[in-house]
A and B are shown apart, each in its own frame.
Chain A
Amino acid sequence: MVNLSRRTALGAGASLLGITAIPRFAIGQADNRPTITVAVQKVVNSNTLDVLREQSNVGERVFFTSLWEPLISKEWLGNLSPRPGLATEWKRIDDQTVELKLRQGVKFHNGEEMTAEDVVFTFSRERMFGNSEAKNRTTLKAFEKIPTPRPGKELPPEIIAVARRAWPDLLRVEAVDKYTVRFFNATPDVTLEGRLARYGSDIMSRKGWEDAASYLDWARKPITTGPYKVVEFRPDNMLVLEAHDEYWGGRPPIKRIRFIEVPEVPSRIAGLLSGQYQFACDIPPDQISQIEKNAAFEVQGGTILNHRLITFDKNHAQLQNPLVRRAFTHAIDRQAIVDSLWAGRTKVPAGLQWEYYGDMFHADWRVPEYNPKLAQDLLKQAGYKGDPIPYRLLNNYYTNQNATAQILIEMWRTVGLNVEINSKENWTQIMERGSQRAVRDWSNSAPFSDPVSSIVNQHGPNGQQQQIGEWTNAEMNQLCEVLETSTDRAKRRLAFRRMLEICEREDPAYTVLHQNATFTAKPKSLKWQASPAFAMDFRPGNYV
């Protein structure tokens, strides 16, 4: 019989407690990852975290790569070229069908494994398309009955429109097996892979959707696969993300990320300098040198997938003659704007295109050269008599917008163009039809790596510029169809070249000023690299 004294019993008890307690304590202590605060001008505009509802630059920053992930990802810290995401490989079955093999062992934030069923649901009518139809479909198949949304889960109507704009001809997505899916398009389309990588094609958990009480509940805390999960979201105030330790790409390097809304630039900078924030985003270019005077801080960032444009209303009395619009384009010293207002930290791109277009990129294309003499000659040929041309202007919606406008006015005045600023308060007033609409500011993004995503999307027949009646061109519209439906890459490339010639030279719809850029300030001691996009990458390997 064991003789158990009081002292031995207490000692044994203490040892047992120690055995059970020490590992927990050790695990608790081992998580010495930092909590960081990122000061941003705006967390999201729509007060939701749904990639289809929040289609904005600020949304891109908090979504990618922390929260949402697509099947085909981008090289976020490189040239944004495609790379495997939640799919490890993909192949074409035919011109209308793509098959993807899913990454195995991917866990959603709720602990469930991602399977083909989740991918099919992500692209379902219940989540994306509602009662909309693919543009070119002619029959309604019996197995694709339109489901009646459950109460509270009705989609906001703009989501359906956004989804259809992103996937105009997608018929259906099918699960071949647990880890294989096929995307069926109604028409041949070479951009399917690009569309799979675009903002909005990111995968969500079906169970996460079903468990949520309402659309809004889900949209405030979507269950996705990213390295960080939502723990708190206070609209117009802050978003707190926490490490998702089962992340397929490894253990996230940060315990918590707090994106906090600090609308004023001086307040963001003051918070950074005082150590309250580790990152201050949306730093205007004129503040960069001021921040970097302090040797402990640096400003990172640069160009993003967005170009600043000036657009023309060819119906305005003075702009009907394309020679006048051409004069506008040749009167602008774009490099001077980049050097003086952007501290040289962005660039004048090769027209409305981006290098990540790959073989569709025309490296030899240039924006119209700065040539005041040519501009004067063009005006003379056009018989322009100096009649006023209104320039509708918003108050610094874009970075440096007012200063750029003032410089442009002077450059145009130098060649003889009498452009008058007409200040407006919002976009409705800017785009309002009428005899006083002539010149305005705009920007153009490339959500995926093909010109369909930019020049067709905004300047084509279904793009906003034509829809609001500013500009149209019959040849351009035919070429848009070629670009959208042809699978002949050489023919598409030629078509795009011709579109650039029409829109930027012969019958200018717009002229590109410069590539847009975003800047983030941080302590030098933090080893982190900004991507050439609004997205902030805090995945394993990019934060020490």
Chain B
Amino acid sequence: MGRFIILRVGRALITIALVVTFAFIVLRLSGDPAQIILGPEAPPEVLAAFRRAWGLDDPIWLQYLHYFGAIAQGELGRSMRDGRSAIEIVAERIPITLALTVPALVLKLGIGIPAGVYAALHRGSLTDRIVMIVSVAGFTIPSFVLGLTLVLVFAVQLGWLPSGGQDSWRHAILPILTLGIGGAAILARFTRSAMLEVLGQPFIRAASAKGVPWQDVITRHALPNAAIPTVTIIGFMVGTLIAGAVVVESVFSWPGVGRLLVVAVANRDLAVVQCILLLVAATMVISNLIVDFLYGFLDPRLRSAKGQKAAGGQP
């Protein structure tokens, strides 16, 4: 187990280092932050002063070494826009984004999983078809279209809710709905497929033939076995909690990490972009790690290589 954790953490660190390196190269080669931040009409001496101050005159490899050296010491740099610490800037946005993404995740789970299970248990019925039509619509409609539609209906036409901003809990309703509906649709489809696959397995028939009550067959045999693919998707969703609402935050003027990322990339504000990427990569890697552990918990056959091998020959 210890070796497993060390290997996983080592792999995660390499992934994060690669993400940071790739982002550094792409961002620095594709634009001069001085020109972008100060604008196209900035006089040459102003641009030169800015470049000198931020070390942008140095060769790119030297800038990279400085940057990586600083990261090794826990210093993620300062924003070239206002000189503040990148960590401080990103940290103050995280709770704002989580205020949307956590309730949205709850909504996704609360709607998506029951809808998927229900549709699977009533396969072919009218309800199943309705759930699937809604589900397909839910995940094919782009979030900005869904968001703007909700704004037109609930803010402009009905006047029930604000169209954007972050002044009160009412301002969060439409963005949470926008995020939640799309995610719930995806979960519903995955849960339904997983359930249908498990319901067709011999051990379900065996359990029924033994006289186990149908409710117990579902809760004790079908659901745990169908949980594996669903947990994978949930793990991915947890990984996107920090920066997975870029579009929705823009549509609803919600000043979270997603909008910060857009502004920072547009301005080539390297330290801020890198800080967000590190955070996103770390969240994604950690959530994947947790999912890996959950696999073992949910399915004893996956707890060890031996178990996996043994499980290989069984349905």
Contact = CB atoms under 8 A, between A and B. Distances in A.
Given A266-B148, A273-B156, A276-B155, A260 B165 contact: yes
Contacts of A158: 38, 46, 49-50, 53
Nearest to A47: B82
Contacts of B31: 425-429
Interface in B186-243: none
B45 A157 contact: no
Given A45-B81, A157-B53, A270-B163, A426 B30 contact: yes
A463 B43 contact: yes
A236 B260 contact: yes
Contacts of A430: 40
Contact of A274 (B50, B53, B144, B155): B155
A144 interface: no
B268 A161 contact: no
A165 B151 CA distance: 46
B37 A464 contact: no
Interface in B239-274: 250-253, 255, 259-260, 262-263, 267-268
Given A46-B81, A270-B152, A276 B41 contact: no
B161 to A, nearest CB: 9
Contact of B30 (A236, A266, A270, A425): A425
A234 B31 CA distance: 27
Contacts of B44: 462, 464, 467-468
B52 interface: yes
B300 interface: no
28 contacts: A55-B38, A157-B49, A158-B38, A160-B49, A161-B46, A216-B84, A219-B82, A235-B89, A261-B253, A263-B253, A263-B259, A263-B262, A267-B164, A267-B252, A267-B253, A270-B152, A270-B155, A270-B156, A271-B155, A271-B165, A426-B36, A427-B31, A428-B30, A428-B31, A429-B30, A442-B40, A463-B43, A464-B44
A161 B49 CA distance: 7
Contacts of A383: none
B250 to A, nearest CB: 5
Given A45-B81, A270-B156, A429-B30, A260 B40 contact: no
A251 interface: no
A249 interface: no
A509 to B, nearest CB: 15
A354 to B, nearest CB: 15
Nearest to B252: A267
Interface of B: 30-32, 35-46, 48-50, 52-53, 79, 81-84, 89, 144, 148, 151-152, 155-156, 159, 162-166, 250-253, 255, 259-260, 262-263, 267-268
A431 B283 CA distance: 38
Nearest to B263: A236
A70 B136 CA distance: 59
B88 to A, nearest CB: 11
A462 B43 contact: yes
A404 interface: no
A426 B35 contact: yes
A536 B40 CA distance: 23
A162 interface: yes
A394 to B, nearest CB: 9
Nearest to B52: A157
A445 interface: yes
B39 A55 contact: yes
Nearest to A235: B82
Contacts of B46: 158, 161-162, 165
A261 B255 contact: yes
B155 A157 contact: no
A427 B40 contact: yes
Contact of B32 (A56, A428, A462): A428
B60 to A, nearest CB: 13
A520 interface: no
A425 B268 CA distance: 11
A276 B170 CA distance: 13
Contacts of A234: 255
A236 B49 contact: no
A158 to B, nearest CB: 5
B169 to A, nearest CB: 16
Contacts, number: 149
Nearest to B253: A262
Contacts of A266: 148, 151, 251
A275 interface: yes
6 nearest A-B residue pairs (beta carbon): A237-B255, A428-B32, A157-B49, A426-B31, A467-B44, A47-B82
A443 interface: yes
B227 to A, nearest CB: 38
Contacts of A236: 255, 259-260, 263
Given A161-B49, A263-B253, A430-B40, 16 more contacts: A157-B49, A158-B53, A162-B46, A235-B82, A261-B255, A264-B144, A264-B250, A267-B252, A270-B148, A270-B155, A271-B163, A397-B40, A426-B31, A426-B32, A426-B36, A427-B32
Nearest to B259: A236
Contacts of B53: 156-158
The interface centre, meaning the residue of B31, B79, B81, B82 with most chain A CB atoms within 10 A of its CB, is: B82
A156 B251 contact: no
A263 B36 CA distance: 18
A164 B45 contact: yes
A48 to B, nearest CB: 6
Contacts of A431: 35, 40
A115 interface: no
A266 B37 CA distance: 26
A464 B36 contact: no
Contact of A428 (B36, B148, B165): B36
Contact of B82 (A48, A157, A428): A48
A121 to B, nearest CB: 22
Interface in A23-56: 39, 45-48, 55-56
B271 to A, nearest CB: 13
A346 interface: no
A96 interface: no
Interface string A252-285: 0000000011111011001101111000000000
Contacts of A260: 165, 253
A191 interface: no
Contacts of B262: 263
A444 interface: yes
Nearest to A56: B39
Contacts of A427: 31-32, 35-36, 39-40
Given A156-B53, A426-B36, A464-B41, A47 B155 contact: no
